[in-house]
Structure 1
Amino acid sequence: MNESETNHKTEKTVVVPLLLIATILAGMLSPMQSAVNGQVGKQLGDGNASAVVSFGSGLVVMAIIILARRSTRKQFASIPHKISKRSIPWWNWLAGCCGAMVVFSEGASASVLGVATFQTTLISGMVISGLVCDRLGIGVAVKQPFNLPRILGAILAIAATVLVVLPSWQAPKVIALAILPFLAGLLAGWQPAGNSAVAQETGSMLVSITWNFIVGFSILGLALLVRVLMGQVTFSLPGTWWMYLGGPLGLLSIALMALLVRGLGLLLLGLASTAGQLIGSVLIDWLIPALGNQVYMVTILGAVVALIGAGIAMIPSAGKHVALDDLEGNN
């Protein structure tokens, strides 16, 4: 082994663990976002209103970023023409609906369920969704068959959901709320595929993210407007500054993941970020009870089971490697 190879190996030994730690910390932004949006929903008394505030704050940040550059302004202005061309399936343009469901479920249920339970059920739904999308060929070049490890990952995801809701089994309302993040996770499987397709079509991931926020904000805002006009709900903005951080926290998480994936690859990034989400969730519930909920032993066990299930389900086959490598190159 020559000096160059030795230096490269040493650098990799040092850098990769640091990147893993950074990814775990970045993954903790997701439960922070859930905690913030959950508190907004609790204060406003409405998950729909909370989601509008979160999407609105994120959209303002993205609008500033997009408008600051001539190239992204031009790419964004081309969206109506590209939609009319129908060069990509129409549903790709509606991927923001999935994000809307996730943020709505945060506002409606995170403060009641606790952040750990919320994140575990969300991740479990995403694991199952990812397996189904792979099987149907959504977002991958080659369809992935259901094999024993992938089925085991799905079973563990379901087991994790059951474990984290066990302490509330006698409270039907809480169990019903736990269905929301699980359904949001099921829907979220095709969102990355849709966003990536829009990014390729427009030539910019920033434009794709902005469009994602516009779609989510429009759907949630229209639903809230109709409910306000019908007298079903009254809407007022939160009076505390940190309650507007839900959208920016989500954007910061996306940006950090985009940077970290270059040094780790998709598999390690997925595992480390999932670990960060679950660790962060338990810590928030444990250290800041006002933002979360009581932590039970089965909650921690459920989070561990969810992480194991996600790890098994994330192991890609050769075909999936190719699809993901192509996706990274195009973005």
Structure 2
Amino acid sequence: MSFQSGAKSKKAASVALLTVATVFAGMLGPMQSFVNGRLGTELQDGHAASVVSFSVGLILMLIIVLTQSKLRKAFFELPGHLINGTIPRWNFFAGLCGATIVLSEGISVGFLGVAVFQTALIAGMVISGIVCDRLGIGVPFKQALSAPRVTGALLAIVATILVVAPNWTAPHMIALAVLPFVGGLLAGWQPAGNSEVGKLSDSMLVSITWNFLVGFIALGGALLVRVLSGNAEMHLPGVWWMYLGGPLGLASIALMALLVRGLGLLLLGLASTAGQLIGSILVEIVLPTQGAALSMFTVIGAVVALVAAGIAMMPTKKIIDEHPELSEINV
């Protein structure tokens, strides 16, 4: 009996330690937003900032992948799979979601602040997760809409309204807050696409590298058009830490991949979301964004977003069966 009690205590302590580690890993998201936001302000061009961030992440991943023969072979086979349609082609373009988020960081964080940005982003991700579950994107079964999930979606909208409330008299600020919200809405299909590419290549490292490549091509191509048309100038920042946006994103992905084995998806999602929101508020307190003071509405909105995420992440017992003749579970 004492042996079982001791084993349970060790397991509880292990889960608690992993949960704390996940909260800290979640804090890397706000740090990345802060770096990319400052980079956008430094370059006076959020688009250029997103290209710098993506390029650094891509270079690091290429160094890892191209130096290993197995990974290199799998990576160079992906264009052929895309052309042949080995898996639905949309899976290969999931990197566009990450590009949207990083682009919105460079454009809007300098004006909104990290806390508002992260709350709007998470609110969009909550709604995206519910919709993706309902449509069966990235999950084995379609999950029906339930009262808790609808409540989570509504609370996510309330959270977004709360964080933008202080800016009702500034329409341009509202427009900027829409960017991370839209990025969050697109985020649901990114892990689904990356997962399928990872299965195809038998390596998530290859999938992540492809993700960065797609985002870089999209952002870099658009910036090149702007430069050639005389609507933008490309120059690099002179401050070393402004190049850390990409590495911070990679560190977050790597830590989540390790921690999920000990926590499971639900607890990992809740702890990482808590880390994002706590971290965003701490960043705003320690390193406030010029002209974007932390308001009580933002704090309340962050709490509401966390509650919304907690409710929306709870699995529902109701699934939608595509083949009713094979099962009695129907909604």
TM-score class, shorter: over 0.9
Take 1:311 and 1:48, find their aligned partners in 2: how far apart are those partners?
33
1:209 counterpart residue number: 208
2:32 counterpart residue number: 33
1:224 counterpart residue number: 223
Q: Provide TM-score, normalisation by structure 1.
A: 0.94
* Contact in 2 for aligned 1:121/1:161 (Cα 8 Å): yes
2:133 counterpart residue number: 134
Q: Which runs of 4+ in 1 moved over 4 A?
A: none
Q: Could you tell me how far 1:81 is from its partner in structure 2?
A: 2.3
2:95 counterpart residue number: 96
Percent identical across equivalent pairs? Answer: 62
Take 1:292 and 1:145, find their aligned partners in 2: how far apart are those partners?
43
Q: Provide TM-score, normalisation by structure 2.
A: 0.94
Take 1:7 and 1:65, find their aligned partners in 2: how far apart are those partners?
41
Whichever residue aligns with residue 274 of structure 2, its letter is: A
* Contact in 1 for aligned 2:113/2:289 (Cα 8 Å): no
Map Cα deviations across residues 166-197 of structure 1 (whole Å, 9 max, x no partner): 11111111111001000111111100000000
Q: Could you tell me how far 1:291 is from its partner in structure 2?
A: 7.2
Change beyond 3 A, Cα 1:7–1:319 = farther
Map Cα deviations across residues 225-274 of structure 1 (whole Å, 9 max, x no partner): 00011111111111110000000000000000001101111000000000
Q: Indicate the larger mover: 13-22 or 82-91.
A: 82-91
Take 2:264 and 2:57, find their aligned partners in 1: how far apart are those partners?
27
Take 1:282 and 1:293, find their aligned partners in 2: how far apart are those partners?
12
Change beyond 3 A, Cα 1:291–1:241 = farther
Take 2:151 and 2:236, find their aligned partners in 1: how far apart are those partners?
44
Whichever residue aligns with residue 7 of structure 2, its letter is: H
Q: Secondary structure at the match of 2:142?
A: coil
1:150 counterpart residue number: 149
1:116 counterpart residue number: 115
Take 2:228 and 2:11, find their aligned partners in 1: how far apart are those partners?
59
Matches within 5 A, 1:1-331: 1=1, 3=3, 5-290=4-289, 293-317=292-316
1:324 counterpart residue number: none
Q: Secondary structure at the match of 2:188?
A: helix
Unaligned runs of 5+ in 1: 321-331
Change beyond 3 A, Cα 1:14–1:292 = farther
* Contact in 2 for aligned 1:47/1:107 (Cα 8 Å): yes
Q: Could you tell me how far 1:318 is from its partner in structure 2?
A: 5.1
Q: Secondary structure at the match of 1:234?
A: coil
Take 2:67 and 2:317, find their aligned partners in 1: how far apart are those partners?
40
Matched positions, count: 319
Whichever residue aligns with residue 57 of structure 1, its letter is: V
Cα root mean square deviation, aligned: 1.3
Take 2:76 and 2:229, find their aligned partners in 1: how far apart are those partners?
34
Q: Could you tell me how far 1:86 is from its partner in structure 2?
A: 1.4
Take 2:85 and 2:196, find their aligned partners in 1: how far apart are those partners?
12
Q: Secondary structure at the match of 2:143?
A: coil
Q: Could you tell me how far 1:7 is from its partner in structure 2?
A: 3.2
Take 1:245 and 1:287, find their aligned partners in 2: how far apart are those partners?
18
Take 1:91 and 1:46, find their aligned partners in 2: how far apart are those partners?
29
Whichever residue aligns with residue 315 of structure 1, its letter is: M
* Contact in 1 for aligned 2:33/2:245 (Cα 8 Å): yes
Whichever residue aligns with residue 190 of structure 2, its letter is: Q
Q: Could you tell me how far 1:85 is from its partner in structure 2?
A: 2.9
Q: Could you tell me how far 1:146 is from its partner in structure 2?
A: 1.0
* Contact in 1 for aligned 2:146/2:316 (Cα 8 Å): no
* Contact in 1 for aligned 2:111/2:289 (Cα 8 Å): no
Take 1:80 and 1:45, find their aligned partners in 2: how far apart are those partners?
35
Whichever residue aligns with residue 272 of structure 1, its letter is: A
Take 1:148 and 1:290, find their aligned partners in 2: how far apart are those partners?
38
Unaligned runs of 5+ in 2: 320-331
* Contact in 2 for aligned 1:51/1:107 (Cα 8 Å): yes
Change beyond 3 A, Cα 1:157–1:39 = same
Whichever residue aligns with residue 208 of structure 1, its letter is: S
Take 1:253 and 1:50, find their aligned partners in 2: how far apart are those partners?
19
Take 1:316 and 1:47, find their aligned partners in 2: how far apart are those partners?
37
Whichever residue aligns with residue 109 of structure 1, its letter is: S
* Contact in 2 for aligned 1:142/1:319 (Cα 8 Å): no
Q: Indicate the larger mover: 224-233 or 63-72.
A: 63-72
* Contact in 1 for aligned 2:144/2:318 (Cα 8 Å): no
Take 1:144 and 1:77, find their aligned partners in 2: how far apart are those partners?
36
* Contact in 2 for aligned 1:115/1:292 (Cα 8 Å): no
Whichever residue aligns with residue 68 of structure 2, its letter is: R
